[in-house]
Structure 1
Amino acid sequence: METSSEKAPEYTDQPPPSYESLFGKIKQAKQNSGGNVAFAQNVVGITTNSFGYIIFLVLVLAIPITCIVIGSSFLHQCPAQRYIPIYLIVFGVFTLIRDVSSLIQTFKARKDGIDENQQQKPNPFDGLLSCFLFAWFICGNVWIYQTYGNFTTSNPAASDYCHHTLFYFSFWLLNVTYIILEKITRAISRNENMQTRKLFRLTALNNLLKCCRSYAQASSGNKQKWSYAHGPSDTPLLGSTIGQALQDWTELRPDKEAAVFCKGNIRKTFQQILEESDQLAAGLLELGIKRGDRVGIWGPNSIEWILTQYATARAGIILVNINPMYIANEMEYVLEQTGCKAIIAAEEFKGHDYYDILFHLIPELARCEDGFIKSHRLPELETVIMIGKKKHQGTLKFSSVLEAGTSKRKAEIMDLQKRLQFDDPINIQFTSGTTGSPKGATLSHHNILNNSYFIGRRLGYHEKETRICIPVPLYHCFGMVIGSLTMASHGATCVFPSPAFDAKNTLEAISKERCTSVYGVPTMFIDMLNHPDLPKYKLSSLYTGIMAGAPCPIETMREVIGIMEMPGVTVCYGTTENSPVTFQNFRDDNIEKKIGTIGKPHPHVEAKVIDEYGNVVPCGTPGELCTRGYTTMLGYWNNPARTADVIKPDRWYHTGDIATMDEDGYCSVVGRITDMIIRGGENVYAFEIEQVIYHHPCVKDVQVVGVPVERLGEEIYAFIEFKEGYTCTEENIKDYCKTRMARFKVPRYVKFVKEFPLTATGKVQKFKLKNEAMRDLNLID
Structure 2
Amino acid sequence: MPVVTKRKIYHALAVCYRQLSAPPPSYWHQPSADPLLAVTVGQLVDSAADRFGPREALVSCHQGVRLTFSEVKRRVGARGVVAAEACYPKVLRMAPQLSHSPPGDLQCADVPDLATVVFMEGERKRGAFQLRELMDSATRGSLGVITNQQLSIQPDDGCNILFTSGTTAKPKAAILTHHNIINNSYFVGKRMQFDEKHHRICLQVPLFHCYGFCSGVLAALHHGATVVLPSLYFNTKASLDAIEKEKCTVVYGTPTMYVDLVAERDFEDRRFENLEAAVSSGSPISHPLFLELKRKFGVRKVGSLYSLTETSSVVFQSQPTDSEDQMLNTVGAVSQHVEVKVVDEQRKVVPMGTVGELCVRGYVTVARYWSDEESTRRLYYRERWLRTGDLFIMREDGYGKLVGHLRDRIIRDGENIFPKEIQELLETHPDILETQVFGVPHERWGQQICACIRLKRGSTLTSDAVREFASGKISDFKIPSIIEIVDELPRNPSGKIQTLQLREAVMEKYGIKDVAIYGW
State the TM-score, normalizing by the size of structure 1.
Answer: 0.61
User: Is the CA contact (8 Å cut-off) linking 1:498 and 1:506 kept in structure 2?
Assistant: yes
CA 1:398–1:264: 2 relative to 1, 3 Å: closer
Which residue number corresponds to residue 597 of structure 1?
Answer: 330
1:544-559 to 2 correspondences below 5 Å: 544-559=277-292
Distance 2:23 2:46 in 1: 43
TM-superposition CA deviations, 1:405-436 (whole Å, max 9, x none):
34333222222233211111111111111112
Q: Give yes or no for the alignment of 1:431 onto 2:230.
A: no
Which one of 227, 230, 246 corresponds to residue 26 of structure 2? 227
User: Is the CA contact (8 Å cut-off) linking 2:46 and 2:73 kept in structure 1?
Assistant: yes
Distance 1:248 1:734 in 2: 57
Bigger helix share? 1
- Equivalent position SS for 1:475: coil
Which one of 495, 507, 511 corresponds to residue 778 of structure 1? 511
Which residue number corresponds to residue 246 of structure 1?
Answer: 45
User: Is the CA contact (8 Å cut-off) linking 2:259 and 2:433 kept in structure 1?
Assistant: no
Amino acid paired to 1:620: G
Amino acid paired to 1:237: L
Distance 1:361 1:746 in 2: 44
CA 1:776–1:407: 2 relative to 1, 3 Å: same
CA 1:638–1:362: 2 relative to 1, 3 Å: closer
Deviation at 1:377, TM superposition (A): 3.0
Deviation at 1:480, TM superposition (A): 1.0
Which residue number corresponds to residue 712 of structure 1?
Answer: 445
Which residue number corresponds to residue 305 of structure 1?
Answer: none
Which residue number corresponds to residue 227 of structure 2?
Answer: 494
TM-superposition CA deviations, 1:480-503 (whole Å, max 9, x none):
111111232212111111111111
User: Is the CA contact (8 Å cut-off) linking 2:259 and 2:434 kept in structure 1?
Assistant: no
Which residue number corresponds to residue 269 of structure 2?
Answer: 536
User: Is the CA contact (8 Å cut-off) linking 2:281 and 2:304 kept in structure 1?
Assistant: yes
User: Is the CA contact (8 Å cut-off) linking 1:242 and 1:488 kept in structure 2?
Assistant: no
Runs of at least 5 residues in structure 2 that lack an aligned partner in the other structure: 1-19, 515-520
User: Is the CA contact (8 Å cut-off) linking 1:693 and 1:702 kept in structure 2?
Assistant: yes
Deviation at 1:386, TM superposition (A): 2.9
Q: Give yes or no for the alignment of 1:344 onto 2:82.
A: yes
Q: Give yes or no for the alignment of 1:482 onto 2:281.
A: no
TM-superposition CA deviations, 1:521-569 (whole Å, max 9, x none):
0121122212222233221111123111112111211222232122123
User: Is the CA contact (8 Å cut-off) linking 1:223 and 1:664 kept in structure 2?
Assistant: no
Which residue number corresponds to residue 638 of structure 1?
Answer: 371
Distance 1:422 1:471 in 2: 29
Which one of 720, 743, 747 corresponds to residue 480 of structure 2? 747
Distance 1:368 1:747 in 2: 54
State the TM-score, normalizing by the size of structure 2.
Answer: 0.91
Amino acid paired to 1:386: F
Which one of 731, 745, 753 corresponds to residue 464 of structure 2? 731
Q: Give yes or no for the alignment of 1:618 onto 2:417.
A: no
Amino acid paired to 2:513: I
1:378-417 to 2 correspondences below 5 Å: 378-388=111-121, 390-417=123-150
1:289-328 to 2 correspondences below 5 Å: 295=80
Deviation at 1:601, TM superposition (A): 0.6
User: Is the CA contact (8 Å cut-off) linking 1:440 and 1:637 kept in structure 2?
Assistant: yes
Distance 1:244 1:226 in 2: 40
Distance 1:387 1:748 in 2: 46
Amino acid paired to 1:266: V
Distance 1:724 1:474 in 2: 31
Which one of 699, 702, 705 corresponds to residue 435 of structure 2? 702
Which residue number corresponds to residue 505 of structure 1?
Answer: 238
Which one of 28, 41, 65 corresponds to residue 266 of structure 1? 65
User: Is the CA contact (8 Å cut-off) linking 2:23 and 2:351 kept in structure 1?
Assistant: no
- Equivalent position SS for 1:449: helix
CA 1:510–1:650: 2 relative to 1, 3 Å: same
User: Is the CA contact (8 Å cut-off) linking 2:288 and 2:427 kept in structure 1?
Assistant: no
Distance 2:288 2:469 in 1: 19
Deviation at 1:389, TM superposition (A): 5.8
Distance 1:263 1:424 in 2: 34
Deviation at 1:675, TM superposition (A): 1.3
Runs of at least 5 residues in structure 1 that lack an aligned partner in the other structure: 1-220, 285-294, 296-342, 349-353
Deviation at 1:514, TM superposition (A): 1.2
Which one of 696, 721, 724 corresponds to residue 454 of structure 2? 721
User: Is the CA contact (8 Å cut-off) linking 2:287 and 2:424 kept in structure 1?
Assistant: no
Amino acid paired to 1:377: D
Distance 1:753 1:727 in 2: 12
Aligned residues: 495
- Equivalent position SS for 1:650: helix
CA 1:706–1:367: 2 relative to 1, 3 Å: closer
Distance 1:719 1:634 in 2: 37
CA 1:471–1:222: 2 relative to 1, 3 Å: farther
CA 1:621–1:505: 2 relative to 1, 3 Å: same
- Equivalent position SS for 1:485: helix
User: Is the CA contact (8 Å cut-off) linking 1:678 and 1:684 kept in structure 2?
Assistant: yes
TM-superposition CA deviations, 1:435-479 (whole Å, max 9, x none):
121000110111111111111111110111111111111112111
User: Is the CA contact (8 Å cut-off) linking 2:441 and 2:513 kept in structure 1?
Assistant: no
Distance 1:478 1:756 in 2: 21
CA 1:399–1:768: 2 relative to 1, 3 Å: closer
User: Is the CA contact (8 Å cut-off) linking 1:391 and 1:397 kept in structure 2?
Assistant: yes
CA 1:254–1:657: 2 relative to 1, 3 Å: same
> Which piece of structure 1 moves more, 619-628 or 400-409?
400-409
Amino acid paired to 2:259: I
User: Is the CA contact (8 Å cut-off) linking 1:223 and 1:663 kept in structure 2?
Assistant: no
Identity of aligned residues (%): 37
User: Is the CA contact (8 Å cut-off) linking 1:549 and 1:573 kept in structure 2?
Assistant: yes
Distance 2:402 2:270 in 1: 34
Which one of 584, 589, 593 corresponds to residue 317 of structure 2? 584
Which residue number corresponds to residue 15 of structure 2?
Answer: none
Q: Give yes or no for the alignment of 1:766 onto 2:515.
A: no
CA 1:710–1:414: 2 relative to 1, 3 Å: same
Higher RCO (C-alpha under 8 Å, 6+ residues apart):
2
1:15-34 to 2 correspondences below 5 Å: none
Deviation at 1:626, TM superposition (A): 1.0
